[in-house]
Amino acid sequence: MTLIGRTRARGIDTLSLDSPDNRNALSAALVGELADALTGCAKDTDVRAVVLTHTGNTFCAGADLRDPPHPDALVGLLRQIVELRKPVVARVTGHVRAGGLGLLGACDIAAASRAATFAFTEVRIGVAPAVISLTLLPRTDPRALARYCLTGERFDAVEAARIGLLTATGDDVDDVLAPVLDGLRGSAPQALAETKQLLTARVLEAFDQDAADLTALSARLFSSAQAREGMTAFLERRDPSWVV
């Protein structure tokens, strides 16, 4: 079964996370297929830009707790989006949780409908947003990020735009993105590639400096006793033992 859909319209390739049964969670298989699709887009000279979107009512629920990708694979995917020499635009019409927010942070432009909701739920299951901090810390308001990463609170699309997680939001995300995609279609491919490289330099510095340590932290936390309790509680739809 294919987990990534791919369509093209006037130089824009749309890649759709297409695993709605598990809310497009980041399984090892989905991460691998998305990486392969991005590689294809990178090699195709007819692709001017990439739109990353989803089927179902959830953009991405974060790591698949039954089949999680290795932290190295997630780091590689996020870096691939950042390094791709073509703009990557996130199109969100549903909910985004945990690792899914790392995908938004990796994209150059991100837009969502006002119906979308967001949450850093890692602390609720006993882990930390370690790997995804690589794309989020350089681009998101630090005070807001501290609040939402520490509490796991849910917030809406207007707040996501205010703190820098989104570029824009509106009632119809396609109306929001129409001028963006027209602008990309009207821009020279070489100029887009070089401009993106300028804009992502600080994000890539974070990968160079911190990726190894954060990968190790993620692996350590996911194998901890508290994470096992948190993930079991999540799958059993009950509160973990530390809730007071």
* Closest alpha carbon to 77 in 166, 162, 4, 165: 4
**Nearest-angstrom CA–CA distance, 72 and 215:** 6
pLDDT (0 to 100) of residue 68? 87
Alpha helices (H) in 137-172, listed in sequence order? 142-151, 157-162
pLDDT (0 to 100) of residue 114? 97
**Nearest-angstrom CA–CA distance, 50 and 96:** 19
- For residue 147, CA distances in Å to 2, 97, 134, 141, 200 come to 37, 15, 17, 10, 25
Q: Is 126 left (phi over 0), alpha (psi -120 to 50) or beta?
A: left
Structure tokens at 162: 């205010």
Give the Cβ contact number of residue 220 at 10 Å. 14
Domain ranges of the chain: 1-172+191-244
3-state secondary structure of 1: coil
- Indicate whether this model's pTM tops 0.75: yes
For domain 1-172+191-244, which CATH number applies: 1.10.3090.10, 3.90.226.10, 3.40.50.300, 3.30.365.10? 3.90.226.10
**Nearest-angstrom CA–CA distance, 241 and 217:** 22
**Nearest-angstrom CA–CA distance, 234 and 215:** 23
**Nearest-angstrom CA–CA distance, 132 and 41:** 23
Q: pLDDT tens digits for the chain (244 residues)?
A: 799 999 999 999 999 999 999 999 999 999 999 999 999 999 999 999 999 999 999 999 999 988 888 999 999 999 999 999 999 999 999 999 999 999 999 999 999 999 999 999 999 999 999 999 999 999 999 999 999 999 999 999 999 999 999 999 999 999 999 999 999 999 999 999 999 999 999 999 999 999 999 999 999 999 999 999 999 999 999 999 999 9
pLDDT (0 to 100) of residue 1? 78
